[in-house]
Structure 1
Amino acid sequence: MNGRKEISADKALERLEALCAKSERCTDELRRKLVGWHIATSDIDEIISSLRRRRFVDDERFARAYVRDKWRFGHWGRRKILAGLSSKRIPSETARAAIDEEIDSGEYYNGLLHAAHTRLMRLGGADAGYEESTKVLRSLVAAGYETSLAVKALREAARIITEEGDD
């Protein structure tokens, strides 16, 4: 081992209860912790079941909180959020439902438009050319926004910037 003493299944359950009480966790995160603590597979299943039964862990609730946080604070697009939830082994139906529930389409597009406008202004505003626009588009797609929606927002942002310059 690595010098750490092994912990009992009861102690592991206690630790996870405290962890889940502090912030939302998903089943996959908890399972990985238990494996890292060298808890027996049969005990892992029992601990996870106990946590679910007592609502310490709920993957649907976790998915909604994850979507809210990544959208509101990280300004991630839907694609990046879906990939993040997938990496945590949240079923795609659960992930999509959380996105539909937590992200208003109009607010999503306005956030994307704001990001496109801000980034385009940083790279030259009305004088931004093809290269600058391509950089902005790449950054929006990398942030997880859908390409077609990002192109639409970029065009609208460029139009707005041009109109602002005409004033």
Structure 2
Amino acid sequence: MNQKQTYTLDEAKKKLEIYCVYQERCHKEVRQKLKQMHMIPEAIDAVIVHLLEHNFLNEERFAKAFVRGKFNIKKWGRRRLTLELKQKDISKYNINIGLKEIEESTYIDTFNTLAEKKASSIKETNVFKKKKKLADYLLYRGWETHLVYDKVNELIK
């Protein structure tokens, strides 16, 4: 049977509470989830207000968790983190609070370790091609250009 499942407001609230408890969510993800559930705009707003009031939804907390996770696991730099958070419609204010989760010394240590590990794994004899491969790899992960080019020139001669 291809019948759309419908939800009462209370059922939707319960379902989204579970959705938000499972992992931190941003407003955009919650709104998309409610649209997939075929909720009307008034109901979507009501559920979001409920989630905010009961602290299931908190964009500052989301930004912090997102930054910590992507930095520690995927080794993303600040530019990539900022871009990804902007795509999730997180405010500039919350993005900045999120980025404060990374200590400067840890940030630089992670960058250096990542760059050195990647540089040693590139099997390219042409110096220019090797530099380009390393730079592209680091830039794709969102590390700042000045850091990337200084490090590339330091590691590959």
TM-score exceeds 0.5: yes
Partner of 2:114: 115
Distance 1:130 1:42 in 2: 57
Count of matched residue pairs: 156
Distance 1:69 1:120 in 2: 24
Distance 1:84 1:74 in 2: 13
Deviation readout 1:21-72 (Å, 9 max, x if unpaired): 2211111111111111111111111111111011011000000000000000
Distance 2:130 2:117 in 1: 12
1:4 Cα deviation from its structure 2 partner: 2.8
Partner of 1:149: 147
- Secondary structure of the residue aligned to 1:109 is helix
Q: How many percent of aligned residue pairs carry the same amino acid?
A: 29
Deviation readout 1:112-131 (Å, 9 max, x if unpaired): 11111111111259x66111
Distance 2:135 2:150 in 1: 10
Distance 1:46 1:4 in 2: 21
Partner of 1:164: none
Distance 1:76 1:108 in 2: 10
> Is this contact kept in 2: 1:113–1:157, CA < 8 A?
no
Gaps of 5+ in 1: 160-167
Deviation readout 1:68-117 (Å, 9 max, x if unpaired): 00000111111111111111110122112210x21111211111111111
TM-score calculated relative to the size of structure 2: 0.91
Structure 1 runs of 4+ off > 2 angstroms?
Answer: 153-159
Q: How do residues 44-83 of structure 1 correspond to structure 2 at under 5 angstroms?
A: 44-83=44-83
Question: What CA RMSD, in Å, does the superposition of the two structures yield over aligned residues?
Answer: 1.7
1:156 Cα deviation from its structure 2 partner: 3.3
Task: Name the amino acid aligned to 1:112.
Answer: F
Gaps of 5+ in 2: none
Partner of 2:95: 95
Matched, 1:134 2:132: yes
Distance 1:128 1:110 in 2: 27
> Is this contact kept in 2: 1:117–1:158, CA < 8 A?
no
Distance 1:104 1:65 in 2: 14
> Is this contact kept in 2: 1:113–1:156, CA < 8 A?
no
